[in-house]
Amino acid sequence: MGRLVLAPIDYSILLTYTVFVLGIGWLLKEKTKTSEDFFHSGHGVPAWIAGLAFLSANLGAQEVMGMAASGAKYGIMTSHFYWAGAVPAMLFVGVFMMPFYYGSKARSVPEYLRLRFDEKTRGLNAISFAAMTVFSSGVSLYALGLLLSALLGWGFDVSILTAASIVLVYVFFGGLTSAIYNEVLQFFLIVAGFLPLVFAGLRDVGGWGGLVERLNGVAVKQGFAAGTYTQLWQNTANPAANPMGIEWFGLAMGLGFVLSFGYWCTDFLVVQRAMAAESMDAARRTPLIAAVPKMIFPALVIVPGLIAIALTLGGNTSGFKLPAKPDGTLNYDMTIPMMLAHYFPPGLLGLGLTALLASFMSGMAGNVTAFNTVFTYDIYGAYIRPNAPETHYLKVGRLTTVAGIVASILAAYAALRFNNIMDLLQLVFAFVNAPLFATFLLGMFWKRATGHGAFSGLLLGTIAAAAHHGVTLPAHSVAGLKGGWLGMVTTYPSEMAQNFWTAIWAFSVCFVATFVISLATAPHPDESLRGLVYSLTDKPRSDGRGLRPELVAICILVAVTALNIIFW
Amino acid sequence: MALDLRIVIGRLLLAIGLQLVVYGFLHDGRAASMDIAWGSGITLVGAIFHLLPRLVKTA
């Protein structure tokens, strides 16, 4: 594809955003005096800010560009990530799990595991999470460098060093507050930058009706039933009948339950935003507030993918076409950049690019803030220097921020030499997050679960995920990173189907192993579990301001069910 | 919170929206009118956010 040429107005908008981001870090420097301020925003974040940050921490550019790419590849079934996965999981964490996270006064998810189970379970989770966040932040940086060099011709080194320096400045000075502020700004930039794109694209295809008509034609051309690209569940009885290559059970259990709940309920990167809220009620409302825009987001990030594939394969007069890869297949990852280039004039183009850059940087900052908290409290404070003065941990937190950024840059350069690192990252997430959800589910809702059970369950769940990956392979793939390295037994129609079933195996083995080993080991006394387990904890009382979280959750559940039915 | 985020959001949107509007007025064609239309919307939302703390206090 040809490179974009930016006008001075585009650079001016990019510069405006950069000045705001750095300004926020600078202004917050004076207000960030304690480790409590640096790692937890002084527990003073209002629910609406924590809610938007909770949503945006997951809205990195890889997510934004990846969802549009999946929209183009799989159609509206990509919305399952939102309407069957994220939204129900957010309601669950807000209503049922947040009282334990917030009420236990744990400073991090690994620390909750120490309080509920034991030190070894915390250590295992802290180390795997810290490694994952640095890795993830590095991959984000790598993707930013690739995008900027492909789109604008900027050098890879200059791109990643500039972005990393900006993130370093604002997280170093302002800590979590700075990251949260920038995540909220990023949310508004994404809405402002992508809404015009959806309008322009829809106008091009003749509105929603025209889009559906074109997609019906595309589906028939690909050998599917006419409505396949615009229906969520209707073609899931048989994996061969939909482009995702998955049947309803794998979808509902693998994505809807295990992977989504595993991510939204246990990943400290998002949970940290809710734990920084100003009160228990605010913490419970945080995921519920996030669930409302999350429900609507497919219109902003998936519809552009639908428009792109409808125009590319359904024919158009405006000249839009997705580029092809060297092997002749469509390059879906370029959906958003290509649409920005095609529809936006100078000015709006700068805004769209700023929104993408903001996503990259806030995604990275989210990982860095989660990393510095877990490293400082759960690794340094637990094993290297416990009981140090509070100011010492603030200093360590800032130094860890620098170390995290440097490690991310190194990971980005490592990614440059290893072209399958994105696949590896997804795999590591499936291996770590899926069994962790089983551990939390049993830990929070079954008082008989023990530390030995949790630790063994986590290890066995991860081993089960690896074993499943080793004996399965997606269709048309060769044995190696994609699976089959233990000798192939089963072939899945798609990589996504393989991922969902890997997660189901990891969860199930962890659940059963934790259950059996817990029964075989000595239980924790009830007294030590108060405030940590559902049956031994007083139900949280609402502060009386606004609607009760349970009622809000029911309303959102009704709305998301309605969306599933409308697009059935 | 250390800074009123509503004002920060308001000022950022105002700064971006006004740039789009001014750029649109200085140029011709459909592209310029797109900048003016969306720039005006962004400016309006920015102004609302900027004034929100005062409006809420007054109410």
B24 contacts chain A (CB < 8 A): yes
> Would you state the pLDDT for residue A23?
92
Lowest mean pLDDT, pick from A47-61, A411-425, B30-44: A411-425
How large is the angle between the packed helices A451-470 and A421-445, nearest 10 degrees?
150
B7 contacts chain A (CB < 8 A): no
How large is the angle between the packed helices A348-374 and B5-25, nearest 10 degrees?
160
Does residue A541 have a pLDDT over 80? no
- The more confidently predicted of residues A274 and A495 is A274
CB distance A168 to A19 below 8 Å: no
How far apart (Å, rounded) are the C-alpha atoms in residues A411 and A415? 6
How far apart (Å, rounded) are the C-alpha atoms in residues B13 and A188? 8
Phi, then psi, of A497 in degrees rounded to 5: -60, -40
Does residue A218 have a pLDDT over 50? yes
How far apart (Å, rounded) are the C-alpha atoms in residues A225 and A211? 16
Query: What residue type is A22 in one-letter code?
Result: L
- Per-residue pLDDT band for B59 (boundaries 50, 70, 90) equals very low
Does residue B55 have a pLDDT over 60? yes
How far apart (Å, rounded) are the C-alpha atoms in residues A277 and A259? 25
Q: How far apart are the first and last CA of chain B?
A: 21
Taking an 8 Å cut-off on Cβ atoms, the answer to whether A177 and B1 are in contact is yes
Give percent of chain A with pLDDT exceeding 70. 98
3-state secondary structure of A364: helix
Does residue B26 have a pLDDT over 60? yes
**Cα nearest neighbour of B43 on chain A:** A192
Model pTM greater than 0.95? no
Query: What are the tens digits of pLDDT across the range A338-393?
Result: 899 899 999 999 999 999 989 888 888 999 999 999 999 999 999 999 989 989 99
> Would you state the pLDDT for residue A443?
94
Query: What residue type is A231 in one-letter code?
Result: Q
- Residues from chain A that touch B23, judged by Cβ atoms under 8 A, are 9, 346-347
How far apart (Å, rounded) are the C-alpha atoms in residues A447 and A527? 11
Q: Which of B42, B44, B49, B52 to mutate to test the interface with A (most CBs of A within 10 A)?
A: B42
Query: What residue type is A287 in one-letter code?
Result: P
CB distance B42 to B20 below 8 Å: yes
Query: What are the tens digits of pLDDT across the range A175-188?
Result: 999 999 999 999 99
Rounded to the nearest angstrom, the minimum Cα separation between A364 and chain B is 21
How far apart (Å, rounded) are the C-alpha atoms in residues A28 and A38? 10
Query: What are the tens digits of pLDDT across the range A403-429?
Result: 999 999 998 888 777 655 556 666 777
Tell me the pLDDT of chain A averaged across its residues. 90
Query: What are the tens digits of pLDDT across the range A446-468?
Result: 999 999 999 999 999 999 999 99
Mean pLDDT, residues A55-74? 86
Does residue A485 have a pLDDT over 80? yes
A196 contacts chain B (CB < 8 A): yes
Does residue A396 have a pLDDT over 90? yes
Does residue A159 have a pLDDT over 80? yes
CB distance A269 to A370 below 8 Å: yes
User: What ipTM does the predicted assembly reach?
Assistant: 0.93
How far apart (Å, rounded) are the C-alpha atoms in residues A548 and A546? 7
Rounded to the nearest angstrom, the minimum Cα separation between A189 and chain B is 8
Mean pLDDT, residues A191-218? 93
